[in-house]
Amino acid sequence: MNTGFDPAFLSATTNSFTDFARTVAPDVLPHISPEQLVSASGERAGVPDGTTIIAFKTAHGVLMAGDRRATVGNLIASHIIEKVHAADSASVIGIAGTAGLALELIRLFQLELEHYEKIEGTPLSLEGKANRLASMLRAGLGLAMQGLAVVPLFAGVEPGRDSGRIFSFDVTGGKYEEVNFHSIGSGSGFARGALKKLWSPGLSEAGGVRVAVEALIDAADDDSATGGPDFVRQVAPVVRVVDADGVRRIPESEVLQYATAVVASRAEGDRP
C-alpha cells in the first residue's frame, strides 16, 4: 500500500538537494565508476569534451560567454552544445571539461540553488553559491583523477548590488575569486590574451558583447577544440549578461551581427 511520503521526506533536515538525494535515491545522482569508462584495451572511452568559456565584469554586473563546440578526440561531437547557463536568477555558470558530467553538474547545481531557496525561503549569498559549487566539485574528485575533469566558471551579482563577481575553480574544489576577467578551457589562453587588450572597466552591454565575441573568435582561430561563430548554421556563441535585473541571454541573431562586424573589420585590415 502506498503510504505517502517516505519517512525520510518528513524527517530530513538538510537544505541540500544532493545530500538528500544521496540518502533516499542515490541512483539518480551522476555516478560513473572509472572502470566503466576504460575500454577493454585500456583506452579511455570517447567522451565529448567542452572548451572555451570567458567571463568579465561590466559596468553593471558580469558577462559570460562560451563557444558551441564539443569534441571527441579529433572529431567534432556537437556544433550546438550550450556550455553557459543561468544558475539562478542572479548568477551564471559555464563549464569546460567532459561534457556529459559538466552538463549534469550544471543541472544539479541549478537545482541545488533552487532547492535551498525553496526550503529556506531565501536565496544563498553569492559567496555561498560559489562554496556550494566547490564542495560539489570536491565530491567528483575521483573522476577528475581519472582524467574526467570538470572545471566550472561561476559569476553573478549579489542581489541589490550593481557590481558582479567572478569565481574560478580547480578540480580539487579550490575556489578563487578573479579580479576583472577570466577564461577556462582549451582555448582559454588565446581568449585571455585577447581580453587583456580589449577589456576595460565599465564596459557597456553592447561593448561587452563585442569584446566577448572577439575573444572567442581569437580562441577559435588557434584552438581546434573551440568553435567560432558558424554563419552557415547560424550558430553563435552563448552570451549571458547578469545585472541587478537578473540574467539575460543576448539573442543569437544579435551575437551573429557582432560576429559579422568583427570578421568584416578583420578582413578589411587584411590581417592573416
Partner 1 sequence: MSAPFYVSPEQLMKDRAEFARKGIARGRSVVVLRYDDGILLLAENPSATLHKIAEIYDRIAFAAVGKYNEFETLRQAGVRYADLRGYSYDRADVTARGLTNAYAQTLASVFTTESKPFEVELVVAEIGEHPASDRLFRLSYDGSVADENEHVAIGGQAEEIGKRLSGLRTAGKPLAEVLAIGHTVLGTGRDDDVDLDDLEAAVLERSASSHRTFRRLQPDDLRSLLAAPATGEDTGREEAPTASGTETRPQEDEGQ
Q: Which residues of this protein are in contact with partner 1, per CB under 8 A?
A: 2-5, 9-10, 12, 17, 20-21, 24-25, 28, 89, 107-108, 111, 114-115, 118-119, 121
Closest to partner 1 by CB, 118 vs 233, is 118
Query: Are β-strands 175-178 and 164-169 bridged in parallel, bridged antiparallel, or unpaired?
Result: antiparallel
CB of 95 to partner 1, least distance (A): 18
Establish whether 51 is a catalytic residue: yes
Closest to partner 1 by CB, 28 vs 80, is 28
CB of 85 to partner 1, least distance (A): 13
Which of 18, 23, 51, 71 is an active site residue?
51
Closest to partner 1 by CB, 12 vs 32, is 12
Look up cell 587584411; give the residue.
270
CB of 136 to partner 1, least distance (A): 14
- What is 195-237 written as a DSSP string? HHHH--TT--HHHHHHHHHHHHHHHHHH-TTS---BTTTTB--
CB of 73 to partner 1, least distance (A): 31
- The strand ranges marked E within the chain are 49-50, 53-57, 62-66, 70-72, 75-78, 84-88, 91-98, 150-157, 164-169, 175-178, 181-184, 238-243, 246-249
| Nearest in space to 198 (alpha carbons), one of 184, 212, 186, 187 | 212
Closest to partner 1 by CB, 112 vs 223, is 112
| Residues tagged active-site | 51
